Structure formats: structure tokens, C-alpha cells
């Protein structure tokens, strides 16, 4: 009986202490472990009290049956031997006292069983309360998970927006290694342009476009192709809207225009339009317009054809 009472006392005391130690609204793993452990102590202690009460009840019933048998035997002896009346009366009084003691013990046992039953009901109520708290915690965890998913979605949208903005703000650049690689590629086509000087243009007051034009000029210089830079930073408008890069020239310059246009497109990630037609163009011209804005519609200067391919990223 002693260990059961101690277990109940420790379990209940532990629950109250845990209630004041863990003050956060959202229960931690340690708080759950403490709550379940102390609840098990209470339930174990109550079960021990109930078992001990049951044993006392069975013992009391057995003693009562024995006492009743002895009283019956004593009464039988009293009726059979009046001569021993005084002795029998003393013996009966002794048995009466024993019966009274047994009845007192029975009442004590019944009180213990009643107390154990009350403790069991209290433990059941506490278990129900714990189940309710667990359900509430699970609901809060689900809400927190949903909010986390929403925050992650917002963060991903912001990251993509930053990537787009950084890409838009990044100037059209090609490093020295890339410029040398392009020059090596178009150098093989230089003989077809031996009698021509390539004009390089860029729009006035567009510093980014001027830098892109200077990069193209460096490529032509590395490829040893004659070029005219007087139009850099001086043009007002060329083509449809002067956006991106536009390369035009006669028919025989087609391979050069197509090759250079695709290299610039791939390395600068920009719009590039190329057209070669001897009827329309006598000289080769490279016009560098404003950097295209992501999301805006593109103006195509000519219908796609063999002499005007779609050179775009």
C-alpha cells in the first residue's frame, strides 16, 4: 500500500510542478514527457490502492465467515451445556469483541475502496484533459505548419523577384575570355568582309548601351575586322524602337551576321535581330539599343525568314 500512495503523491505533485515550470503556451517535448510520466505514476498508484483494497475486502469477507461459524458453534455449545453457561458467556463476549473488530476493519476496507474509486475517477478525468490538450497542440502544430508553408511561398516569390531585378539591372557584359572566343569564331568569316567597314552605333545618353557597343568593338578588333566607331553614343534611333541589338548587311554578310548575332545573344542574354539583304543594305551595321525590359513585348523588325532569322534568347 505504501508504494501506491507514494506513486500517487509523486505523480500529482509532479503535474503541479510541471504546470508552473513550463509556462510557454506551446508545449515542448520535455513538458509532454513530464506530463505523461507523472500521469502514469498517478494511474499506477491508484491501481495499487485498488488492488490492495480488493485484497482487504476479500480478507474481511473470509474473516466474517469464520466469525459467523465460530458464533454458531459457540451458540450450539451454549445450548448443549447450560452448566458451562458462564464460561460460554465469557467466550461469546470474547467472540463478540472479535466480531466488532472485524466489522471495524471491514468498514475501514470499504472506506479505502471508496477512496480508491474516487482516485480512479479523478485519474480518468485527468487523462481526458490530457487528450484534449494533445488535440489542441496538434491543431496548433497544423496551423503553424500551414503558416510556415505560406511564409516559404512568399520568400520564394521574393527571391524570384530579386533574381529578375538583378538580371534586369545587370549590364550586358562579356569578359575578356568570352570576347576572345567570339573573335576567334567570327575571324574565319572576316574574308567575306574584306572590302567593308562595319559601322557600330549606340543610342545617345545610354551608358549601358555604349558599354555594350564598346564590347562589340573590342570583339571586332580582336578578329581584325575593320570597323567604324564614330556612331557610338551618337545615334538617336535605329530600327523599331532601338531595343536590343540589330545587325544588318548585304546578303554575302549573312554567315557573319548570323554567327555574331547568336554569340552575342548567348553571352549577353539580350535580344538580337539580324537581317541580310543586298537590296536593302550595302554596308554592315551593328546597332546597340537600350537593354530590353523583362516582361515587355518585343518588336520584331522583319518577318522571320532565311535572311531575317529569329536570333533571340
Write out pLDDT tens, residues 109-129. Answer: 788 878 878 887 887 888 888
Q: For residues 138 and 273, state if they share a domain.
A: no
Asked if residue 22 lies in contact with residue 78, where contact means CB atoms within 8 angstroms, the answer is no
Rounded-to-integer distance, Cα 42 and Cα 18, Å: 14
Domain-ending residue, one of 124, 149, 167 = 167
Residue appearing with cell numbers 543586298: 278
Q: For residues 201 and 163, state if they share a domain.
A: no
Rounded-to-integer distance, Cα 300 and Cα 143, Å: 51
Q: Please give the share of the chain, as a percent, with pLDDT higher than 70.
A: 75
**297 found inside a domain:** no
Q: For residues 143 and 26, state if they share a domain.
A: yes
C-alpha cell of residue 206: 545610354
**118 found inside a domain:** yes
Q: For residues 159 and 188, state if they share a domain.
A: no
Rounded to an integer, the average pLDDT of 23-36 is 67
Q: For residues 222 and 256, state if they share a domain.
A: yes
Residue whose C-alpha is closest to residue 186's, from 111, 96, 286, 78: 286
Rounded-to-integer distance, Cα 106 and Cα 304, Å: 108
Q: For residues 236 and 284, state if they share a domain.
A: yes
Give me the pLDDT at residue 122, please: 83
Residue appearing with cell numbers 515587355: 296
Q: For residues 182 and 162, state if they share a domain.
A: no
Rounded-to-integer distance, Cα 62 and Cα 58, Å: 6
Q: Give the C-alpha distances (Å, rounded to integers) separating 8 from 22, 40, 41, 47, 76.
A: 21, 9, 6, 10, 49
Q: For residues 156 and 219, state if they share a domain.
A: no
Q: For residues 45 and 87, state if they share a domain.
A: yes
**Which of 181 and 234 is assigned the larger pLDDT?**
181
Asked if residue 286 lies in contact with residue 201, where contact means CB atoms within 8 angstroms, the answer is yes
Listed in sequence order, the DSSP H helices in the chain are 2-21, 29-80, 85-169, 176-187, 207-222, 254-268
Instruction: Tell whether the model's pLDDT for residue 313 goes beyond 70.
Output: no
**296 found inside a domain:** no
**273 found inside a domain:** yes
Q: For residues 13 and 129, state if they share a domain.
A: yes
**306 found inside a domain:** no
**16 found inside a domain:** yes
pTM to 2 decimals? 0.45
Domain-ending residue, one of 126, 143, 167 = 167
**3-state class (DSSP) for residue 295:** coil
Q: For residues 43 and 125, state if they share a domain.
A: yes
Asked if residue 251 lies in contact with residue 277, where contact means CB atoms within 8 angstroms, the answer is yes
Residue whose C-alpha is closest to residue 5's, from 137, 145, 115: 115
Q: For residues 136 and 201, state if they share a domain.
A: no
Residue whose C-alpha is closest to residue 112's, from 69, 165, 56: 56
Q: Work out the number of other CB atoms within 10 angstroms of the CB of residue 11.
A: 21
Q: Give the C-alpha distances (Å, rounded to integers) separating 162 from 153, 158, 170, 295, 300.
A: 14, 6, 12, 15, 28
Q: 203 lies in which domain range?
A: 176-288
Task: Provide the number of structural domains found in the chain.
Answer: 2
Q: Give the C-alpha distances (Å, rounded to integers) separating 106 from 35, 59, 63, 67, 69.
A: 36, 9, 9, 13, 17
Domain-ending residue, one of 132, 167, 202 = 167
Asked if residue 254 lies in contact with residue 238, where contact means CB atoms within 8 angstroms, the answer is no
Asked if residue 301 lies in contact with residue 240, where contact means CB atoms within 8 angstroms, the answer is yes
Q: Work out the number of other CB atoms within 10 angstroms of the CB of residue 285.
A: 19
Instruction: Tell whether the model's pLDDT for residue 137 goes beyond 70.
Output: yes
Segment 232-249, tens digit of pLDDT: 988 766 555 578 899 999
**89 found inside a domain:** yes
Instruction: Tell whether the model's pLDDT for residue 216 goes beyond 90.
Output: yes
Segment 254-290, tens digit of pLDDT: 999 999 999 999 999 888 989 999 999 999 999 998 8
**31 found inside a domain:** yes
Amino acid at each position: 500500500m505504501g508504494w501506491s500512495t507514494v506513486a500517487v503523491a509523486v505523480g500529482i505533485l509532479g503535474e503541479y510542478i510541471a504546470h508552473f515550470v513550463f509556462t510557454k503556451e506551446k508545449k515542448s517535448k520535455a513538458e509532454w514527457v513530464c506530463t505523461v510520466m507523472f500521469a502514469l505514476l498517478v494511474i499506477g498508484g491508484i491501481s495499487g490502492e485498488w488492488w490492495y483494497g480488493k485484497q482487504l475486502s476479500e480478507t474481511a469477507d473470509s474473516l466474517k465467515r469464520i466469525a459467523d461459524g465460530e458464533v454458531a458453534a459457540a451458540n450450539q455449545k451454549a445450548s448443549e451445556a447450560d452448566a458451562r453457561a458462564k464460561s460460554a458467556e465469557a467466550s461469546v463476549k470474547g467472540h463478540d469483541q472479535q466480531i466488532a473488530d472485524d466489522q471495524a476493519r471491514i468498514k475501514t476496507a470499504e472506506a479505502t475502496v471508496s477512496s480508491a474509486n474516487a482516485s480512479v475517477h479523478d485519474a480518468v478525468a485527468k487523462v481526458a484533459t490530457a487528450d484534449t490538450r494533445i488535440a489542441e497542440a496538434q491543431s496548433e502544430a497544423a496551423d503553424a505548419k500551414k503558416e510556415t508553408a505560406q511564409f516559404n511561398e512568399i520568400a520564394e516569390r521574393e527571391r524570384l523577384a530579386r533574381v529578375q531585378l538583378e538580371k534586369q539591372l545587370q549590364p550586358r557584359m562579356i569578359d575578356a575570355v568570352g570576347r576572345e572566343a567570339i573573335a576567334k569564331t567570327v575571324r574565319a568569316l572576316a574574308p567575306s568582309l574584306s572590302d567593308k567597314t562595319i559601322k557600330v552605333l549606340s543610342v545617345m545618353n545610354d551608358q549601358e548601351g555604349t558599354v555594350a557597343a564598346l564590347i562589340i568593338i573590342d570583339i571586332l578588333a580582336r578578329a581584325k575586322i575593320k570597323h567604324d566607331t564614330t556612331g557610338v553614343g551618337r545615334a538617336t534611333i535605329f530600327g523599331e524602337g532601338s531595343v536590343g541589338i540589330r545587325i544588318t548587311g548585304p546578303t554575302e554578310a549573312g554567315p557573319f551576321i548570323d554567327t555574331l548575332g547568336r554569340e552575342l545573344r548567348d553571352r549577353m542574354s539580350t535580344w538580337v535581330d539580324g537581317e541580310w539583304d543586298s537590296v536593302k543594305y550595302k554596308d554592315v551595321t551593328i546597332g546597340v539599343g537600350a537593354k530590353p525590359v523583362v516582361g515587355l513585348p518585343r518588336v520584331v523588325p522583319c518577318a522571320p525568314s532565311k535572311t531575317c532569322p529569329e536570333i533571340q534568347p
